[in-house]
């Protein structure tokens, strides 16, 4: 079967906004939809995608071992998730510096992996330095993650400017950690404001949910448990990555104020 | 031509630009002692909502100058005429002005100047006697894109930006800046020291406004309260007598 061969970087500028959480969960959701997925941890020295996926005890080789030919092929370094078939992790080296990974070698590696998979999703480190350049340079598409606060939005904007200058096509936005109680009259402008400032297409909204912390500590992507409230949002994002015409899952359907601007940004209630 | 006198002011209202007619009417008034009154009062030229082009404006001002009646202020609601007037070095006095005299505390930007205050005054004088050519006719850089955080758009020309200046972004011109969008970052016009420059923007939110070597400080919420609106629109910033003034250009009622 012909693979989709898409490479996507998940980035944000600011740290702690949910890149790793989102990479793990949309990766798991895409695998659930029967796509072959590799998640690449590009946060050299500060890796934690393995933790979120609960795979930390199984790391033998990392991506630098592949680049520096310490293993036969990248396949040897991939860790297969036992709970979700089709989902693989390529871990980052923990004892190295970000600068130890050459830009061009990393891109070559991603391009090679891409040939055998539907999605290669790169969890990008915070900042706009080497680690970001390496990740963004290697991917064809980008997802920018922001939380609804000014500093995160400003950093996202900066990252988008960088992505634009790298001529990435179809950069999309995920707004993470939206709080229901913010979706009130006075604070409702915030999503509108985010979209007005960043001016890119909205891929999805993920509500703030404390269950994320529990699932992270247990090393289980939320997507594993279909009864959990966040399942449908990650699943919706995964579906929209495959087909952008699918309606966005709107966490705040009840509010009529939200409805008012929903038409503005193309939000519709999903069936 | 209608002549009105208010406390400390003499207001000359003109309804039609007819050079000869204005001239003869002025000469008539001079015989009646206009010069003496003009010397003691602030002379305001009220142009209503007339939209003048640059040469019409110059001719008009020259008419007054040639008869030694210097105009101190222009009163006009047409934004283009206003820009020309400011560029020419004559401040604006419009009834719709939100005079931010108290709210704007101009302070000098620490860099690139030594004895600025005296310099500024000189500049105003020379620009008044020898009006600098309006920048409106010079090259304009038209830029159609949002300026994103961390980016700087800079030009020696007047910049016409069709897009937003995002928080953390900067737009800088040696001439004027016109933003057809929302100004949320920094705008620096007249960089580094051209006091005649203006900044105009359709919308703003927490911007940093700089003209030449001055920085404007103002309380957006206070202004919103004053104009009883959630949003401030059509805003003109210009330098006037060591202050940056902010003016909200209201829509004309038809
Ligand atoms: N939607 C959410 N609701 C609640 N907590 C979240 C959410 N998304 C992320 N978090 C928490 O925020 C913290 C930072 O997330 P992480 O994915 O590590 O961010 P990054 O990779 O961008 O640094 C983690 O503790 C995570 O559990
Ligand atoms: Mg992370």
CA of B65 to the centre of ligand 1 (A): 69
**B184·A197 Cβ contact <8 A:** yes
User: pLDDT at position A167, please?
Assistant: 86
Whether residue B117 sits in one domain with residue B204? yes
User: A74-78, A156-160, B128-132, B167-171: lowest mean pLDDT where?
Assistant: B128-132
**A161·B150 Cβ contact <8 A:** yes
Whether residue B113 sits in one domain with residue B73? no
Is residue B99 included in any domain, yes or no?
Answer: no
User: pLDDT at position A189, please?
Assistant: 47
Name the B residues in 133-172 with CB < 8 Å from any A CB.
146, 148-151, 164, 166-169
- β partners of residue B142: B160
Whether residue B65 sits in one domain with residue B121? no
Whether the per-residue pLDDT at A161 is higher than 80: the answer is: yes
- A146 Cβ inside 6 Å of ligand 1: no
What is the tally of structural domains in chain B? 2
Whether residue B160 sits in one domain with residue B137? yes
Whether residue B242 sits in one domain with residue B118? yes
Site to substitute for ligand 1 among A16, A19, A233, most atoms within 8 A of C-beta: A16
Is residue B101 included in any domain, yes or no?
Answer: no
User: pLDDT at position B243, please?
Assistant: 86
Average pLDDT, chain B: 79
Structure tokens at A140: 């064809």
CATH classification at residue B114: 2.160.20.70
User: pLDDT at position A75, please?
Assistant: 96
Whether the per-residue pLDDT at A242 is higher than 90: the answer is: yes
Name every chain B residue with its beta carbon within 8 A of the beta carbon of A160: 148
Whether residue B144 sits in one domain with residue B194? yes
CA distance B190 to B175: 5
Best B144, B148, B150, B224 residue to mutate vs chain A (most A CBs within 10 Å): B148
- Reported as a pLDDT band with limits 50, 70 and 90, residue B6 is confident
Burial B221-238 (b: 16+ CB within 10 A, else e): eebeeeeeeeebeebbbb
Cis bond before residue B192 (omega within 30° of 0): yes
Ligand nearest to the CA of A233: 1
CB B200 within 8 A of CB B177: yes
- A18 Cβ inside 6 Å of ligand 1: yes
pLDDT higher at A182 or B171:
B171
Q: What digits encode the pLDDT tens for the residues B137-156?
A: 558 999 998 999 999 999 99
- A21 Cβ inside 6 Å of ligand 1: yes
Q: What is the pTM of this model?
A: 0.70
Is residue B193 included in any domain, yes or no?
Answer: yes
Residue reference for tokens 């330098």: B239
Whether residue B221 sits in one domain with residue B148? yes
User: pLDDT at position B138, please?
Assistant: 59
- Reported as a pLDDT band with limits 50, 70 and 90, residue B254 is low
Is residue B234 included in any domain, yes or no?
Answer: yes
Q: Which residues of A touch B (CB under 8 A)?
A: 128, 150, 153-155, 157-158, 160-161, 164, 196-197, 199
| ipTM of predicted assembly, 2 dp | 0.71
- A25 Cβ inside 6 Å of ligand 1: no
Whether residue B120 sits in one domain with residue B241? yes
Atom of ligand 1 nearest to the CA of A207: 1
Atom of ligand 1 nearest to the CA of A145: 22
Whether the per-residue pLDDT at B165 is higher than 70: the answer is: yes
Q: What average pLDDT does this structure show over A95-120?
A: 96
Q: What digits encode the pLDDT tens for the residues A39-81?
A: 999 999 999 999 999 998 899 999 999 999 999 999 999 999 9
Nearest CA to ligand 1 atom 10: A18
Sheet-wide strand order for A119-123: A79-80, A87-90, A37-41, A119-123, A6-11, A141-146, A172-178, A201-207
Q: What digits encode the pLDDT tens for the residues A181-231?
A: 766 545 544 777 888 889 999 999 999 999 998 888 888 888 888 888 899
- Reported as a pLDDT band with limits 50, 70 and 90, residue A11 is very high
Q: What average pLDDT does this structure show over A252-258?
A: 50
Name every chain B residue with its beta carbon within 8 A of the beta carbon of A199: 146, 164
Minimal C-alpha gap between B171 and chain A (Å):
15
User: pLDDT at position A179, please?
Assistant: 84
**B148·A196 Cβ contact <8 A:** no
Is residue B49 included in any domain, yes or no?
Answer: yes
Name every chain B residue with its beta carbon within 8 A of the beta carbon of A153: 167
Is residue B102 included in any domain, yes or no?
Answer: no
Please tell me which of the candidates B150, B151, B166 has its beta carbon nearest to residue A197.
Answer: B166
Pseudo-torsion of CA A178, A179, A183, A189, nearest 10°? -40
Is residue B98 included in any domain, yes or no?
Answer: no
Please tell me which of the candidates B151, B164, B184 has its beta carbon nearest to residue A161.
Answer: B151
Average pLDDT, chain A: 89
CA distance B125 to B127: 5
CA of B125 to the centre of ligand 1 (A): 60
Please tell me which of the candidates A128, A157, A164 has its beta carbon nearest to residue B166.
Answer: A157
Write down which residue in B58, B93, B128 finishes a domain.
B93
Whether residue B67 sits in one domain with residue B156? no
Percent of chain B scoring above 90 in pLDDT: 31
Write down which residue in B37, B65, B93 finishes a domain.
B93
Judged on CB neighbours under 10 Å (0-12, 13-18, 19+), B117 is: exposed
Atom of ligand 1 nearest to the CA of A208: 3
CA distance A74 to B41: 86
Q: Which of these, A243, A237, A101, A265, lies nearest to A174 by C-alpha position?
A: A237
CB B72 within 8 A of CB B92: no
Please tell me which of the candidates B146, B150, B184 has its beta carbon nearest to residue A158.
Answer: B150
User: pLDDT at position B242, please?
Assistant: 83
Q: Which range scores top for mean pLDDT: A234-238, B10-14, B236-240?
A: A234-238
Residue spans of beta strands (DSSP E) within chain A: 6-11, 37-41, 79-80, 87-90, 119-123, 141-146, 172-178, 201-207
pLDDT higher at A268 or B201:
B201
Whether residue B61 sits in one domain with residue B137? no
Whether residue B114 sits in one domain with residue B88? no
Is residue B147 included in any domain, yes or no?
Answer: yes
CA of A17 to the centre of ligand 2 (A): 8
Count residue pairs from A and B with Cβ separation < 8 A: 33
Question: Residue B73: which domain range?
Answer: 2-93
Best A132, A150, A154 residue to mutate vs chain B (most B CBs within 10 Å): A154
Whether residue B216 sits in one domain with residue B124? yes
**B166·A164 Cβ contact <8 A:** no
Write down which residue in B63, B93, B123 finishes a domain.
B93
Whether the per-residue pLDDT at B51 is higher than 90: the answer is: no
Q: What digits encode the pLDDT tens for the residues B75-134?
A: 877 767 777 777 777 777 754 334 343 333 443 333 333 333 333 333 333 333 333 444
User: pLDDT at position A29, please?
Assistant: 96
Q: Which CATH number fits domain A6-264: 3.10.20.30, 3.40.50.300, 3.40.220.10, 3.30.70.270?
A: 3.40.50.300
pLDDT higher at B186 or B80:
B186
User: pLDDT at position A150, please?
Assistant: 87
Minimal C-alpha gap between B226 and chain A (Å):
20
Q: β-strand A119-123 against A37-41: which pairing, if any?
A: parallel
């Amino acid at each position: 079967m012909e693979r989709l061969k898409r490479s996507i970087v998940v980035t944000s500028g600011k740290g702690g906004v949910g890149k790793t959480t989102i990479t793990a969960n949309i990766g798991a959701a895409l695998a659930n939809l029967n796509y072959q997925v590799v998640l690449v941890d590009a946060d050299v020295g500060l890796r934690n995608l393995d933790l979120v996926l609960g795979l930390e005890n199984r790391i033998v080789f990392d991506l630098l071992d592949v680049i520096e030919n310490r293993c036969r092929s990248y396949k040897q370094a991939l860790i297969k998730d036992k709970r979700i078939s089709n989902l693989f992790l390529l871990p980052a080296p923990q004892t190295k510096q970000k600068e130890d990974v050459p830009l061009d070698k990393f891109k070559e590696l991603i391009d090679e992996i891409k040939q055998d998979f539907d999605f290669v999703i790169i969890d990008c480190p915070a900042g706009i330095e080497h680690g970001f350049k390496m990740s963004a340079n290697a991917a064809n598409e980008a997802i920018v993650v922001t939380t609804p606060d000014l500093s995160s939005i400003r950093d996202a904007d900066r990252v988008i400017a960088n992505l634009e200058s790298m001529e990435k096509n179809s950069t999309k936005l995920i707004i993470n950690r939206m709080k229901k109680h913010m979706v009130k009259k006075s604070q409702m402008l915030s999503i509108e404001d985010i979209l007005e400032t960043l001016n890119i297409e909205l891929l999805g909204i993920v509500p703030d949910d404390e269950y994320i912390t529990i699932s992270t500590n247990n090393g289980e992507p939320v997507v594993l448990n279909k009864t959990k409230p966040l399942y449908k949002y990650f699943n919706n994002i995964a579906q929209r990555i495959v087909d952008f015409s699918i309606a966005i899952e709107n966490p705040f359907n009840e509010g009529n104020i939200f409805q008012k601007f929903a038409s503005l940004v193309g939000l519709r209630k999903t069936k | 031509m209608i002549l009105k006198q208010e406390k400390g002011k003499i207001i000359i209202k003109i309804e039609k630009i007819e050079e000869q007619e204005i001239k003869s009417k002025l000469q008539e008034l001079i015989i009646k002692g206009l010069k003496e009154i003009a010397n003691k009062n602030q002379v305001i030229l009220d142009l209503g909502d007339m939209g003048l082009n640059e040469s019409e404006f110059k001719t008009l001002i020259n008419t007054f100058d040639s008869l030694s009646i210097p105009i101190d202020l222009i009163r006009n609601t047409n934004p283009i005429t206003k820009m020309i007037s400011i560029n020419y070095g004559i401040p604006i006095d419009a009834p719709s002005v939100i005079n931010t005299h108290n709210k704007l505390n101009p302070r000098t930007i620490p860099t690139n100047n030594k004895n600025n205050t005296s310099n500024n005054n000189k500049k105003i004088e020379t620009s008044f006697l020898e009006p600098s050519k309006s920048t409106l006719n010079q090259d304009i850089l038209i830029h159609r894109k949002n300026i994103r955080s961390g980016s700087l758009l800079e030009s020696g020309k007047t910049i016409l930006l069709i897009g937003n200046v995002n928080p953390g972004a900067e737009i800088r011109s040696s001439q004027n800046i016109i933003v057809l969008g929302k100004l949320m970052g920094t705008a620096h016009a007249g960089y580094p020291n051209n006091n005649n420059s203006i900044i105009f923007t359709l919308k703003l939110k927490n911007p940093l406004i700089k003209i030449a070597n001055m920085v404007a400080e103002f309380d957006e919420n206070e202004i919103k309260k004053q104009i009883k609106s959630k949003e401030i629109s059509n805003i003109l910033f210009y330098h006037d007598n060591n202050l940056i003034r902010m003016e909200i250009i209201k829509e004309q009622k038809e």
